[in-house]
Structure formats: C-alpha cells, structure tokens
Structure 1
Amino acid sequence: MKILQLAPRFPFPLDDGGKIVVANTFREFVQQGVSTILFSLNSETELPKTAIQEAEKIGKNVIFNYNTKNTIGKIARSVFTNKAIYLQKYWNKNILEAVDTLILNDKPDILQAEHTCMTPICLYFREKYNIPFGIRLHNIEHKIWEKYAEEMKNPFAKIYLKQQTKLLKKREIELIEQANISFAITQEEKKEIDRLTNNVNVHVASVGVELDKWTPSDFSYRNKNQLVFATTFHWIHNTNALLWFLKNVLPIVYEKNNQVKMMIIGKNAPKWIENYANIGANSLGYLSDIRGVVRQSAIYVAPLFVGAGIRIKILEAMAMGMPVVATSVSAAGINATENDGLFITDDKEKYAEIILELMNNAEKCENAGIRARQFVEKKFSWKENVKKMILQYEEILKNK
C-alpha cells in the first residue's frame, strides 16, 4: 500500500501540536511498512536545513512553497465569492498541478488529508483518478471558528467570522460525508461528527507521545516554584490564553509566593510579556528543544479557552512526569483527572489555588507527576493509533 499524505504546513521542526501529529503519523506509516509520500505547503521564507533533513530521514517528502497566510485580498475574495476562506485559500491551480504530477509518478493507493482544508484537493483527485481518501480531522474546524466569532469584540470582524463559520460548517460537513473515511482525534469529536452528519465512516485514531524522548527527570532536580508553558504564538487563541493566565492567575500565585517563575516558550512571543516580569513571567522565545526547561520546572500550565482535538504539549509534559493544570478546553479529549496528574479548572481562583497547593506540597506534586507518566504510557501510543488507520485503509482497498 502506498499513501500520499497532504499537509497544509511542513511539519518539521516539531514545535506545535498539529505538526507533531502530521510528522509522527508520517513516521509511523513508514515504520509500519507503508510506502508514504508527504506533500506539504510552506509559507516560511526559509526552512531550517535540519528540519528538512529530519523529514528526509523518514521518507520521501515534497515541499511546495505557497503562502497560506490570510491577506486583505483573500478576505475580500471570500466575501465576494461567499466561500469559506479556510478552504478557499488552499484551492490553487499550482498546488493541484504539483499533486497531479506526484500522483502520476508515484501512483498512490490512498490519499490522506491532514486537516479539513486539504480535503477538497483529495476529493478532486478521487474524482479524477478514483483514488480513495481519508481525512485526519485534527479538529472540527467550524467549532473553532464558532468560538472565535463569539469572543470577537470588533463588530465588523464578528459579522465576518459568523458568516465564515456558517459557510465552513456547511462545507465541512459535506466533505466529511464525501470522504471514504475520517479519523477523529477524540471519542467526543467522533460523537459530534456522528450527530452532524448522515451515516459517515468515522473512526477514532488518537495521538501519541514518543515515550523514549519525553522522559521524566529526578524530582529533586526541579524548581518547585517554576511553572512552564510552551506554545506557538501564530495562533491568536494561544496568545489570548497566555494573557488570561498572566492577568488573572499569576498575580494571585505571586501574592502568596513571590518566588514563582513562569517560563514561557514559543516563537514570536508578544512583547507585552515583559509587563508581567515583575510577577515572575519570563519569555524564553523559540527553543529547538524545550525538554531542558520543562525538566527544571515543577508544573505545566495549559490555559486555553478556544480549541479542539488534543493538546499534545500536555501529553508530553505528563510523559515527563509533570502535573498539569489546565482549563477544560485544554484538557478536552485526554480523559484524565486529578488522579492521573491532570488538574482541570476554568476558575482563576481555583487555578491559582491548585498551583500553590502543588508548590507547597512536594510529595503531592511528585506523586501527581508519577501518575501522569503512567497514564500516558497506558493510553497514548503512536504505533497503535496509526495502526488503526492502516487497517482501515487496507479494508477500503480490499473492498474497492
């Protein structure tokens, strides 16, 4: 079996959740004996050579330079054509020609769309060459747009986002119904897809953690007063999550413990983080390997209020034997509780209270971290989840 995997971003280096899912799926396909080609779009001016080399070590990959960033022109076009910009901006003649050449040369048996936005391309080539395709639903995308529209304060932007949400929801449901198969990240999202669609072939194939990479450190090595948060700031909701935490939670923690340190990791971090340096906020910028800072920290925080799928960074922190304090949105799909080292609250006072309790009780903090590692070891395996996808594709080809 040969799979052509289509991704909206080149997934290396592995510095955010979406890229981690695409890259590890690519790696596992190859390791499990599936001939796989990764085709991905690149909006960056220049990719790090080490990132390209990392992809080439796994298998064949094709990087197509194409700017997917939203511009005034793209927004205006979406208004005049009455189409969802999230899908429309990936529909491009040059992309189609590049994929067509790949298909003619490599003759894949299956196409896999990473994210809904790559699905129209797969649908086009199924109609042209009768190649079955699956969708890796990292999120139910219109749900994210829906929440974004709700929170938008600008009245003109709010009107636009509501219109876009409506268009995206309609088309996203149609695309899922037209796919040969779809893979949801969580059981909750599978149930939502079942509710929204009619008689679709949808399965859960969750994510995983590289357990031999994300290993715990000795608890005595950690700074009991140090928090850590790692993210990518190109997504506005991550920026808003950090701002909420710095404005509403960190001041409460600092008032009770002025030794607190908040280590913030991520590319293009906002300048305003400096305004919170007096209460312990430290912006470290982009780190190619975050494990050193994470191992020095005692608690990982995840304060997201908009999102879907599973937060990979939470799982990686748990794999490193670290308790995590998260909002309900951040924790969605993991299905862990305080007994598994994942503490969940959306209340700022409670959030601070949990952090302070873990800081002040070393034994509780260490035991929570041990349980977190054990939970991830049992529940999140890349090998098993990608195997589910391979078996389903084999079944589709058998019945083709």
Structure 2
Amino acid sequence: ASMAPSIRFSPATRSLFDEPLAIAVQGLGPRQQVTLRTSLRDEKGELFQASARYQAGDDGELDLARCPALPGGSFSGLEPMGLLWALQPQRPFWRLVKRDVQSPFLLQLEVFEGHGKPPGRLLAQAQHERAFLRDGVRRVPVREGRIRATLFLPPGNGPFPGIIDLYGTGGGLPEYRACLLANYGFAVLALAYYSYEDLPKEMKEFHLEYFEEAVNYMLQHTQVKGPGIGLLGISKGGDLCTSMASFLKGITATALINGSVANVGAVLRYKDITIPPLNINLKRIKVSKSGIADIFDTLNNPLEGPDQQSFIPLEKAECRFLFIVGQDDRNWKSEFFAVEGSKRLQAHGKEKPEIVCYPGAGHYIEPPFFPMCAASMHLLVGKPVVWGGEPKAHCEAQIDAWQQIQAFFRKHL
C-alpha cells in the first residue's frame, strides 16, 4: 500500500523571510502529475497566490530543487523558490509589505491532483512560518527628541556596525528591511520621516536637522560601533541619504537602491542652505489603456538649466558609496543617476563609487523573496504606476543585491 502524500519543508516549520526554503512532496505515484499552490495573506487580509505544475519522479518523490515546473503555472523551469517569488495579489496593484515584524507570514502549501483548471482533488497541505525577527534580536521603539524610529539590535554583546534605513514615498515606518538586516549583526535604525505619528503629513519640505538628530542618536548609542555609521535608502530615501552623506558628519558608507542624486519631490533645507526639488512635467506621463501610468520621463534633467540647483553636492561627502541599480526601473532613471553621481564624485577627486547594475530588475529592489510588484498606487501621482522589472530577473537581483549591501557595510563600517 502506498503512503499518503506528504509535504516536507526544510527548515521544517519556520524560516526567516530572506532565507531559502526547500520544498518536497513524497508519497506520490510514479510520475504522478500534480499542481502545487502557495497562499499567503498580508496583514490587511489581501491574498497572494502562486501555482505550478509538476510531475513526480519514478519513485513518487517531488523535490523542487531537482524537478522543473512544467508550463501552465505561475512560472516554469527549475525554480526551487518559484512558489514564493511568483506570489501575486488577487487584488490588482497591491504590493506585499510586512507591517508587523514581530509576527511571521503564514505560508500555506497545497498539493492537488493533475494539471486541470480548476485543480483536482487535494492530496496534501502544510503550513510554514516565514519570520522576520531572528530569536534574540531586540526591537526598540525610539521616541527621543523629534526622532520617530525603531532600532533593531542583534543578539549578543555589541557594539555593532550601525546603519540608518530609509524607505521611499509612502511615508510611515516600514521596519522589515531594517529588521532582516539586523539578523546579520548590524544595529539598524528604521527611520520615519513623514506621514507617521506627529511627523509632517505631506512631502512638502524636509529639514536635514531631523535626520542629523537620528545620526547623532546612533553615533552616541553604546551598542553602535564608531567612528561612523552607514546609510541605506531606496527611492526617495536614496536621495535623502545622499543629502545626509553630503552635509552631515559621521557617515562612513552610503548604499542607495534605485536612488536619485538630485533632490526630488520636496524642498530640502539645512541651516541656511535650500535645495529645490527637480522640476517635473506631468505632460510627460504616459497612461496605458488599462489606466496604468508610466512616469519614467516626468523628471527634468538635473544637468540642465535651473534644475542643476537640485543636484545634491555629493562630492562634499566623506563616505564610500554603493549604487544598486535596476536597469528596468520605470520610476525614474536610476542608472543615469548612478553614472552622473559617479562622474561628479570623480570630477572632484573622490573615490569612484561601486555601481551594481541588474538587467531585468525594476524599481522596488526589496530583500530576497519579496515578490516583484509590477505596478501599484503612487501616492504623488494618484494612480497606479508601473515599476518595471521581469519577475525572475528581479528575484535574482534581490538575492544578489542583499549580499552586496551586507558585504559593502561589513567592509566599510
């Protein structure tokens, strides 16, 4: 008698979200055709799903590390992590983010008979927790002076290399990247800068003094190893990090994920300095038949005319730079920004920055295994915009970029 099919995960019940997860099914019939489906609900209750068609081996074993997915599902080919990176929301224009890092995402896997639509009989199911907070990592809410932030401290005795982590347009206080980074031995401060608690509601103007307070908080913290700290920013967070590195003391390494080297979206002030935002021309937005906007060409060129005033004087920075670039970023010209930033640094006799380019990667290069979001609502545009990227290439870029960022901070902090 054959045993009932069963699912085997490794790690068995719980893993960190950015760690690979091995998936296998045993007890199937020889060369049996099955459909595997993963489901995950975010904290707003929105459902993400992916499915793939497989055929078991002669021994009734199906190991996703050895068996390619057959055409007809969310992906095909040998993709051991495909059932995670191919997750797509049932609700259009919805991006997967983690709001509460203290609870895991619950991943559900179901095995169905055959390759039909809808799938056949349910043969096996299992659940697995994808966690964010490693055991022993401390999550410390920070409300010192004006700072609104969360500090993540690794287990054990510090001091640890310190990093300030900034997200982009959308505001609030996303903690998941900072939290995952702290799992690897960094003290990371996720810093809110607008649309959170008593911070400004809108992106009108930012004062660098606020960010300076956060830098000083980190530099003075007993668990943070000096003499300087690192900055990590994506999108709008990237140009804020560039401005911080250019004007504030105590910054040793700055990593930008699809960031801009021109000030974007809001006036920036520091003491008696004012940097205007790059001008935008909304007539250059292209809207598709399905109502999705492509905003790639809306920003003016920071090398021309009055827009040169928006170029951040990054040659003043006393730090090393890393540019992570998605070459299919449709939000703005990340590769152009990285290249022009590099030219400006070298023109002033500064060290050439590291630039890592990823073909087929879009705007939101997140920690590994976050599914690519092709398009979602942009708060400043008021409609969904296309972010760019091809799912598999984007997934591979996220895995590599995560390693590059950690290696960069280990080397320079």
The reply to whether TM is greater than 0.5 is no
Say which structure is richer in helix.
1
RCO comparison, higher one (Cα < 8 Å, 6+) = 1
Which structure is higher in strand share?
Answer: 2
Q: Report which of the two structures shows the higher radius of gyration computed on alpha carbons.
A: 2
User: Scaled by the length of structure 2, what TM-score is found?
Assistant: 0.38
> If the length of structure 1 is used for normalisation, what is the TM-score?
0.39
